[in-house]
Amino acid sequence: MSKKYYQRAKIMLRIAVFYFLFGISLITQAEEPKIILSAEEIDALIPEVEAAEEKPFLNLKVESELWVETKADLSDPNEPWQRTPIYVSCTGWFGGGSNKDKKRVDVHKQVLRWQEGAAPYIEESYSVGFNGQHGRILRHTTTHSGKTHHTKKGKLQADVPEQLKDNFLGSCTGEYFTFSSFFNSEAYRTFSKLFRACTTPAALEAKAFECALEEFQGIPCIKFGSGEKPWGRESWWIDQSRGFSLLGYEHITTRDGNDRLISRIKIEELKEVADGIWWPMEVSSISRPYEAGKPWRRFVYRASNVVANAPDFDENVFTITFPDGYTIDDQVLGKKYRVGEE
């Protein structure tokens, strides 16, 4: 028996034992079991983690919405969350395989806080996409102070638009809450790199990370965490049984010996939208206010329709068409023009 096969069999046995103990804990309502994984067992998982990070779909379309709620005292169960005017509805398209860099999001309605005063919110509609070669942005309408302006402006650029890199649109489409896209910046690590980092001699000696089998919301998970640090900790809960889907995230800081919640994400509902492809359908994300006296915020994401691997999918959707009458800032050729008047 090879060493690789032995390690794989060993960790599967440990997972089976964990599931058994987890079932016992549900019956007896005893303290939840927790099994720390060894460096060898983590190494055995890494190939599976790497495979999960590769988007398994050929194409995917998601229709979704996101809104923001606030609450003054997070610890008060009797205080209800109050919905704010902040709201986004959108349709996103994602490429997979050799087209995994291709992406487009049509924002049908986006209401965000703009300024203080009588008209604090601004409403916009726009489209942003990247077809593998160029990025395109179209701004359709802008509404503020009771007036709607038909913006009719576009931009062509040689790289991926910043909006597609930002976690905000990723949260609106659900992409940010997926296992393969939680770290969407080149400056951040993937989960497989984090797993590799926690098995280095220096990390093991410093106890910099912890990887364990642990329950999250009643579901047996792999928990990956930064370990206990003077500044606090970060933790992720991953459901190996559903394609290494991300189920939760928590960021806690420690000040004067007291823990302070900074942010918490819970994937409330996952759906298998195609064979082996899981996508978040409902997510709750809570964040602490930046300023004293401000309320807590809760982002609520819900998908109404997700279609993966459509046989009639048109790759041309990633190339946004510039409509007649729109003024285009072509940063590739270094010129500006109005469509239909070239």
Written in H, E and C, the secondary structure of the chain is CCHHHHHHHHHHHHHHHHHHHHHHHHHHCCCCCEEECCHHHHHHHHHHHHHHHCCCCCEEEEEEEEEEEEECCCCCCCCCCEEEEEEEEEEEEEECHHHCCCEEEEEEEEEEECCCCCCCEEEEEEEEEECCCCEEEEEEEEEECCEEEEEEEEEEECCCCHHHHCHHHHHHHCHHHCCCCCCCCCCCCCHHHHHHHCCCHHHHHHCCCEEEEEEECCEEEEEEECCCECCEEEEEEEEHHHCCEEEEEEEEEEECCEEEEEEEEEEEEEEEEECCEEEEEEEEEEECCCCCCCCEEEEEEEEEEEEECCCCCCHHHHCCCCCCCCEEEECCCCEEEECCCC
| Model pLDDT for residues 272-300, shown as the tens digit of each residue | 999 888 999 999 999 999 888 899 999 99
C-alpha to C-alpha distance for 60 and 11, rounded to whole angstroms? 33
What one-letter code names the amino acid at 279?
A: W
- pLDDT for 33 equals 57
Provide the residue-wise pLDDT of the chain in tens; the chain has 342 residues.
Answer: 454 444 544 454 454 444 443 443 433 344 455 788 889 999 999 999 988 888 779 999 999 999 999 999 999 999 999 999 999 999 999 998 889 899 999 999 999 998 877 789 999 999 999 999 999 999 999 998 889 999 999 999 999 999 999 899 999 999 999 988 888 655 557 888 888 888 889 888 888 888 999 999 899 999 998 876 778 889 999 999 999 999 999 999 988 778 899 999 999 999 999 988 899 999 999 999 988 889 999 999 999 999 999 999 999 999 999 999 999 999 999 999 999 886
User: How far, CA to CA in Å, does 47 sit from each of 37, 177, 186, 223, 315?
Assistant: 16, 21, 21, 17, 30
Q: Are 133 and 127 in contact (CB under 8 A)?
A: no
Half-sphere exposure of 259 (CA within 13 A, CB side): 10
Query: Can you name the residues that pair with 266 across neighbouring β-strands?
Result: 248, 284
- pLDDT for 185 equals 57
| Model pLDDT for residues 88-97, shown as the tens digit of each residue | 999 999 998 8
Whole-prediction pTM value?
A: 0.87
- pLDDT for 228 equals 67
- pLDDT for 6 equals 44
Classify the phi-psi angles of 110: left when phi > 0, otherwise alpha if psi is within -120 to 50, otherwise beta: beta
User: How far, CA to CA in Å, does 25 sit from each of 16, 19, 136, 224?
Assistant: 14, 10, 53, 21
CATH of domain 3-101+160-310: 2.50.20
C-alpha to C-alpha distance for 79 and 74, rounded to whole angstroms? 8
Q: What are phi and psi of 107, to 5 degrees?
A: -95, 105
- pLDDT for 70 equals 97
